[in-house]
């Protein structure tokens, strides 16, 4: 039987353990919601203060040159690139995930003018499908968004034959934590003559995402979850090098122009990834993200991924051993190769249970209709945190601490 | 003849003079580029620090409820509304100007399905026309972007008769500072059965923009110029109340959904202005803008506008009296009712002259091919600043201080 002492021993042997000191974490909290909003990396507050008071405050408009604010989105993109298996010049930090997905959807569909099907999953994060709907509506309904129930994406691609223009998937399911096999699905899409677009929101920064090894075409994701860039931090997008100059995205703003400060009358896309830019980026938000990425310096993503797998496996084991009789049903796969960095459980009292856990310092979140989500960010979580979280969960269940009226009141954001 | 003492007297009598103390302005600079990037309002740095360290740092994911991060874009929009003549619930702070223009262009064209012409100006800020090009290209080329040379917009509307779907204009020309007559042009667009979309980037926060008085349909603008929200601060958009539920913008992300946290499978637009949202906004950038707007509390925009007119008129007068023989040609109209809050001059040596001025502490900017721009933000500029700026300009010209090799080297951002 595993004990807390075993967890202490695992922490002592963990090469990543020192990284926890690079974060500002509240003392009285076990934070298992880094899959929703990462905590503050040390150095971010100082960087933002410097940007406000020195760069903006003293250097004002000159900062676009002196501090190279113009180059910031690509510099940040180049720092994200190695975390997702991309090369330099293939990633841009910009806009939001939703907007970046719109750009890439439009760009991809233009490359397959004779095909009209977008294959997605019903369980894609909703905004992904909403954006596809919006694009299809805007362009006159020529395309069909075909949403697959379940995980047999490859079967659906094969069945659609040569009508498939694009396969558009969330790599890690936001509710169940199921992780797609990026290499296999990408190959199936390409074998069918289709392109692929990956939403990396729930994988970037926790999994060893390998876009180029898989031969992926397009990807986008947010930086406020496992990349810890702050609430609503700038998103990123990826376009494989060989496609960059073939595509023209429709949000053709001046920052994506070949010569934005020539103020030409017609749009002329910049070469490479730069044409994916649109308007003026928030320098404050982009600088906070840049500072946040320092914690990834020198990290081997496969080591990070391995720790994530052990954390989630231990959590499943301990929950089943210690909370097995309390009505939780595992929503996440036991196959750790197909598991993101989260573990989810169905429970009919999921909402009040999560509120009781948060009140007792274990912060996860709830997703309708009945899912409790626990994210395990391997950068800053300890093995003892897994133990201690299960201890709190066990107490909440044994003592029915969730059965209070205030825990049933739904907040605006769950 | 006007003297510096007269300027001191004007400052002493200026009811807006105390507002200067609400900004962090470098001591050794006369900042005449608030039309490009406003300076830091006091309180912004403290607010951002609080958002990073307390809201994000301690309250983490709970902040979406506890600090109502969800409501922030509309709260900020409601604070911008009175500055542009809009009502509560008509303005949303979100995304970038370019992206907001794309949303509104698409929404407007859908309301006029039987018409195919967008009337714009060749001298619109380039990103405006680039976005219209991008939308037209995406939707199959059915629409024509008709760019008018010169200022006879009303004549162009009349000539186009019933083909005009939308009139799309920059209220204040970014180079010449020419200010359109919003009421007259809006009326002409409506008389022709068309809708109107105003780009307020160079007017919001300096002019007494009166969207509802003019009957305007749509508007968008940035908050990093006269609204002082910081570099790349969130933009805003306006949709007249009676149109809000008639339009559906194509960037249909989850924050514009009627129930974003129900995670429904299909997009269902929120009522009112909220459907204009798309992805997750940057809470840091949005909070900085919120704090920056404090300086406008209690300001009468017509008083602000009047000061702006006097500042720019005095600058024109003094330049002509003291620098009349140095080759400057006025690019801005002498009609102060048609003048934005800037004065521009043509000069064949415009670029090196501006670099020499910046080196001597008078910060304006240069726009190709030969325009020197000087912005007069009435919130924080003094009448003596006008005098002192002209003194520096006169010295730069008399001593030919611009004639140094380093002042001819073009920076990436001009």
Quick one: pLDDT at residue A414? 66
Query: A248, A270 in Cβ contact below 8 A?
Result: no
Partners of residue B411 in chain A, C-beta under 8 Å: 65
Collect all residues of chain B within an 8 Å Cβ-Cβ radius of residue A106.
Answer: 138
Q: CA nearest B157: which of B123, B106, B194, B201? A: B194
Residue B325, token pair as written in the block: 């023989």
Q: How far apart are CA A91 and CA A244, in angstroms?
A: 11
Closest CA to B38 of B289, B393, B337, B384: B289
Return the CA Rg of chain B.
22
Q: Residue A110, preceding bond cis, omega within 30 degrees?
A: no
Cβ–Cβ below 8 Å for A96 and B95: yes
The 8-class DSSP code of residue A251 comes to: -
Does the pLDDT value for residue A134 go beyond 80?
yes
Residue A412 banded pLDDT, cuts 50, 70, 90:
confident
Which residues, in sequence order, are CB contacts of B91 under 8 Å at separation 6+? Answer: B77, B78, B80, B81, B84, B236, B237, B238, B273
Structure token digits, residue B60 = 């983490």
Helix, strand or coil, per DSSP, at residue B380: coil
Question: In a 3-state reduction of DSSP, which class is residue A329?
Answer: strand
The Cβ of residue A125 has, within 10 Å, a number of other Cβ atoms equal to 22
Assess whether the previous peptide bond of B369 is cis (omega < 30° from 0): yes
Give catalytic status of residue B328 as yes or no.
no
| Contacts with B, A 38-67, CB within 8 Å | 39-40, 44-45, 48-49, 52-53, 55-58, 60-65
Give the number of beta-carbon pairs within 8 Å between A and B. 292
Tens digit of pLDDT for each residue in A326-385? Answer: 999 999 999 999 999 999 999 999 999 999 999 999 999 999 899 999 999 999 999 999
With 0-12 / 13-18 / 19 or more C-beta atoms within 10 angstroms meaning exposed / middle / buried, residue B1 is exposed
Three-state DSSP at B230 gives coil
Task: Mark yes or no for CB contact A265/B122 under 8 Å.
Answer: yes
The predicted-structure confidence for B25-45, as pLDDT tens digits, reads as follows: 999 999 999 999 999 999 999
**Does the domain at residues A4-31+300-408 carry the CATH identifier 3.40.190.10?**
no
Q: Which of these, A13, A9, A7, A19, lies nearest to A300 by C-alpha position?
A: A19
Residues of A that are catalytic: 125, 199, 224-225, 373
Q: Rounded to whole angstroms, how far apart are CA atoms B49 and A46?
A: 9
> For chain A, how far is it from start to end, CA to CA, in angstroms?
35
Q: pLDDT tens-digit profile of B84-100?
A: 999 999 999 999 999 99
Q: Which two tokens stand for residue A144?
A: 């069909």
**Nearest Cα residue to B100 out of B223, B271, B231, B246:** B223
Note whether A166 and A112 are within 8 A (CB). yes
Q: Please, which pLDDT band fits residue A227 given cuts at 50, 70 and 90?
A: very high
Domain boundaries along the sequence of chain A:
4-31+300-408, 48-296
d(C-alpha A301, C-alpha A294), whole Å? 14
CA B62 – CA B71 distance, rounded (Å): 14
Triad A76, A78, A82: Cα angle to 5°:
120
Chain B residue with Cα closest to A37: B61
DSSP, residue by residue, B243-275: GTTT---S---GGGBSSGGG--SS--BPSGGGG
B234: Cα separation from own chain's centroid: 12
- The H or E element that residue A9 is part of is helix A4-12
Locus of tokens 């899912």: A371
Q: Using CB atoms, pick whichever of A55, A61, A232 lies closest to residue B281.
A: A232
The number of residues in chain B equals 414
In the stretch 279-308 of chain A, residues with CB closer than 8 A to chain B read: 279-286, 288
Convert B303-320 to b/e letters by CB count within 10 Å (16 or more is b).
Answer: ebbebbbbbbbbbbebbe
Q: Look at chain A and count its residues.
A: 414
B74 within 8 A of B274, measured Cβ to Cβ: yes
Phi, psi (deg, nearest 5) at residue A34: -65, -15
Which tens digit of pLDDT belongs to each residue from B341-370?
999 999 999 999 999 999 999 999 999 899
Architecture of domain A48-296: 3-Layer(aba) Sandwich (3.40)
Residues 6+ apart with CB under 8 A from A325: none
For chain B, residues with pLDDT lower than 50 are none
Calculate helix-pair angle for B126-138, B97-111, nearest 10 degrees.
50
**Nearest CB to B52; choose among A48, A58, A266:** A48
What values do phi and psi take at B237, rounded to 5? Answer: -145, 155
Q: How far is CA B171 from CA A28, A185, A223, A385, B194, in A?
A: 53, 50, 36, 57, 17
Number of C-beta neighbours around residue B68 at 10 A = 13
pLDDT score of B410: 85
Are A342 and A332 in contact by the 8 Å Cβ rule? The answer is: yes
**Are B63 and A31 inside 8 Å of each other by CB?**
no
Judge whether residue A174 has pLDDT over 80. yes
- Asked if the C-beta of A142 comes within 8 angstroms of chain B's C-beta atoms, the answer is no
């Amino acid at each position: 039987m595993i004990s807390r002492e075993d967890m202490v021993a695992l922490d002592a042997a963990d090469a990543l353990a020192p990284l926890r000191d690079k974060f500002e974490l509240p003392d009285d909290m076990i934070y298992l919601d880094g899959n929703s909003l990462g905590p503050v990396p040390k150095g971010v507050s100082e960087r933002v203060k410097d940007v406000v008071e020195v760069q903006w405050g003293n250097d004002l408009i000159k900062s676009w040159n002196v501090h190279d604010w113009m180059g910031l989105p690509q510099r940040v993109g180049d720092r994200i690139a190695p975390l997702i298996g991309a090369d330099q010049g293939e990633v841009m930090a910009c806009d939001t995930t939703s907007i970046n997905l719109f750009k890439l959807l439009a760009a991809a569909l233009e490359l397959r003018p004779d095909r009209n099907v977008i294959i997605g999953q019903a369980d894609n994060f909703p905004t992904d499908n909403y954006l596809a709907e919006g694009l299809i509506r805007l362009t006159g309904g020529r395309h069909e968004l075909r949403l697959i129930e379940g995980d047999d994406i490859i079967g659906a691609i094969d069945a659609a034959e040569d009508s498939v223009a694009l396969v558009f998937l969330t790599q890690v399911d936001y509710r169940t934590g199921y992780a797609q096999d990026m290499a296999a699905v990408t190959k199936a899409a390409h074998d069918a003559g289709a392109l692929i677009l990956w939403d990396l929101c729930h994988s970037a920064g926790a999994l060893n995402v390998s876009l180029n090894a898989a031969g992926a075409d397009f990807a986008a994701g947010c930086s406020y979850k496992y990349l810890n860039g702050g609430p609503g931090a700038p998103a990123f997008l990826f376009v494989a090098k060989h496609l960059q100059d073939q595509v023209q995205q429709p949000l053709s703003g001046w920052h994506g122009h070949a010569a934005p400060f020539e103020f030409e009358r017609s749009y002329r896309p910049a070469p490479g990834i730069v044409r994916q830019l649109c308007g003026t980026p928030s320098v404050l938000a982009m600088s906070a993200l840049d500072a946040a990425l320092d914690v990834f310096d020198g990290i081997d993503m496969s080591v990070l991924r391995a720790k994530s797998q052990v954390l989630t496996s231990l959590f499943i084991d301990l929950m089943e051993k210690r909370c097995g009789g309390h009505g939780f049903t595992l929503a996440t796969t036991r196959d750790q190769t197909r598991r993101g960095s989260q573990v989810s459980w169905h429970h009919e009292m999921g909402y009040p249970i999560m509120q009781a856990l948060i009140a007792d310092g274990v912060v996860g979140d709830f997703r309708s209709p009945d899912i409790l989500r626990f994210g395990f960010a391997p950068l800053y979580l300890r093995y003892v945190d897994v133990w201690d979280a299960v201890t709190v969960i066990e107490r909440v269940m044994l003592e029915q601490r969730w059965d209070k009226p205030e825990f049933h009141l739904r907040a605006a954001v769950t």
